[in-house]
A and B are shown apart, each in its own frame.
Chain A
Amino acid sequence: MIPLRIVSALVAISLLAGPTQAEESPETDTQLTGIVQGDAPITYPSKYLDQDVTVLPGVFFPYEGENWVLPMMHEYRDLFEGKSVLEIGTGSGIISLYAAQLGASKVVSTDINPKAVECANLNAKRMGFDGVMRARLVPPEDMSAYSVIADGETFDIIFSNPPYALDLDADINTAVVDTGGLGPSLIRGLDQHLTPDGSAILLYGSLFYHHVMVRFARHEGYEVRYHLPNLLMPWEAQTLYNFYLTTALQREGVDPKGFGFHADLAIPRELTHKAHLEPKATDYQAHEDEIGHAFVKSQYGELFEGRKPKRPHPGFMVVRRK
């Protein structure tokens, strides 16, 4: 099960998402974020979709999709008509479903979680999009971005709202952690899988990975426009902080193991590491030692040429061929 601290951190993130979201009643909060618990599917009434979304147990609740991604898609809704769309990491399918509703001619959705694939296909069928949209399961042996996309299969729009946190020390990609391979593989495959005039629309909501992806895509020769994330997320801060502290201590000949710091707000290791590991000596500590909520101030320019944004879309980047 997803511990409460993860849920509360997700609530925190959603609180930061902006002024457009509705107030939630306190008793349902833990059902609105994180992975759906228990045996019963949840029905989620999206403001954007014509029909309710079903979220199966074991699948991420589409709070972020609804509050961060769908408003962005809504603003640029004319871009989807008649287009082929690939969504990498679909979860409940809410983003793909909205792309289908906006008139996409073909939608392929992928996920590493079998429950998510089942959930997305279930929703597509219920909403009558199963002729257009189909979810595919990414096998654990190859979690790179296009592992279930055929050679030469191209898309006008490649969409991804990937895991929040980057952790090069984690063993396996999960709904919340990218071990560092997904983002770069996504950019590298654009050459083969993005149509000449296509756009990759990516939501990298944490500051470091966002900056890295922008620079990596430019390094690979693409044009990138972006809105900086509005915060340095706690998990990413943890990753950077631990490595920085460890490096500084080792430089001075101090064994970081002697410190006895422990993980608290950190993502539980059982979710991100195959083998259960002892917490690292310098693991991020909650309370006064945590970096907590770090707010980023920035300005928001055009994501698509000639289209002044109606509102900020923090964390989004649009990658196109030059």
Chain B
Amino acid sequence: MNVQHRLASALLGATLLVSSHALAREYVVKKGLESFRSATLEAEIQIVPGVVVPARSEQIMAPFLTSHPEIVAGRSVLVLDAGCGLTALVAAKLGAARVVASDTRQTALDCTGRNARKLGIETPIETRRVPEDAKSPFAALEPDAKFDVIIAEASHALDLQSEAAPTPLLHGHTDLPIVTGLAQRLTPNGVAILRYPEMFHHMLLVKYARAIGFEVRHHRPETISSQELASVFNLYLARLLEAEKLPSDAFRFARTDTLGDITLANDFEPFDAEKSTRRYPGVALLRPGAETAP
């Protein structure tokens, strides 16, 4: 296949992508309880103020788990940054033997607990609060606790300049410590399921996981968001301004700037043996490799 043909097919693919996929918008509930209809759970769950509406968990992670029930059925599952608990509840519904949901905010854990009771799912959801100042995202667990499945999903764009006050949708956590800790927290045949929908952040974690010995299979995000692009642009812009001897605040990319929606032309390898063509943009499966240091 020559370059032209490959590019032409990539272009065609991109055209199809543009028309087929749009990520649902995520936002933080401001005040009052908000109801969220989950088709996967066949139920309404409730979101409390300060917690993110799990639109993308429902759109991407829940279908992924539902299509691969063998990953969680009968196994122990840890969900980090569980938020309102949607993903933990889906894992429980699919027959996980044990589900632990952790979060730094008690309100989120209360929200998870409330939704679990409301749904009456048999497997209890154990909640663990991670101290705000903890160095490790696994700080709330017993020192030797291990899981067959560890799930982490990001709602935030990574802000490497810490330019804004941290919010659930924008802060400076790279989440590399999650990947680092997996070696110690996964059972030998365990798997981590990450969902990082921001392109640069997703690739950072994939590269890092591979560098420390994990086997990674992943579907790249299909877009670069304006949020992430502003972060990436501002980081490089700071160097350019300095080189030009301009004040560091001469001009910047505001998160509200119209930077253009960027659509990426991607190839997708199916995650499963049945060669399902379904796409799970942003999802990565990490399995400890032979050389993953504990």
Contact = CB atoms under 8 A, between A and B. Distances in A.
Interface residues of B, number: 49
A15 B265 CA distance: 14
B251 A219 contact: yes
Interface string A173-198: 00000001100100000000000000
A11 B263 contact: no
A156 B240 CA distance: 29
Contacts of A243: 235-236, 239
A249 B208 contact: yes
B139 interface: no
A264 interface: no
Given A8-B3, A232-B262, A294 B224 contact: yes
B148 to A, nearest CB: 26
B160 A295 contact: no
A163 to B, nearest CB: 15
A212 interface: yes
A306 B177 CA distance: 55
B220 interface: yes
Contacts of A298: 258, 260
Interface stretch (A43-51, A69-77, A101-109, A252-260): A252-260
B33 interface: no
A297 B240 contact: no
Interface in B222-278: 224, 232-233, 235-237, 239-240, 243-244, 246, 250-251, 253, 257-267
Interface stretch (A55-63, A115-123, A284-292): A284-292
A279 B276 CA distance: 38
Contacts of B260: 207, 228, 296-298
Interface in A133-183: 166, 168, 180-181
A180 B14 CA distance: 31
A93 to B, nearest CB: 28
A251 B232 contact: no
Interface residues of A, number: 49
A248 B264 contact: no
Nearest to B177: A252
B211 A260 contact: yes
Contacts of B4: 11, 15, 26, 29
B208 to A, nearest CB: 7
B64 interface: no
24 contacts: A11-B7, A12-B7, A15-B4, A29-B4, A168-B239, A180-B240, A207-B259, A207-B260, A208-B233, A219-B250, A243-B235, A248-B176, A254-B176, A288-B267, A289-B207, A293-B14, A294-B262, A295-B18, A296-B260, A296-B261, A296-B262, A297-B260, A297-B262, A298-B260
Interface of B: 2-4, 7-8, 10-11, 14, 18, 158, 160, 172, 174, 176-177, 199-200, 203-204, 206-208, 211, 220, 224, 232-233, 235-237, 239-240, 243-244, 246, 250-251, 253, 257-267
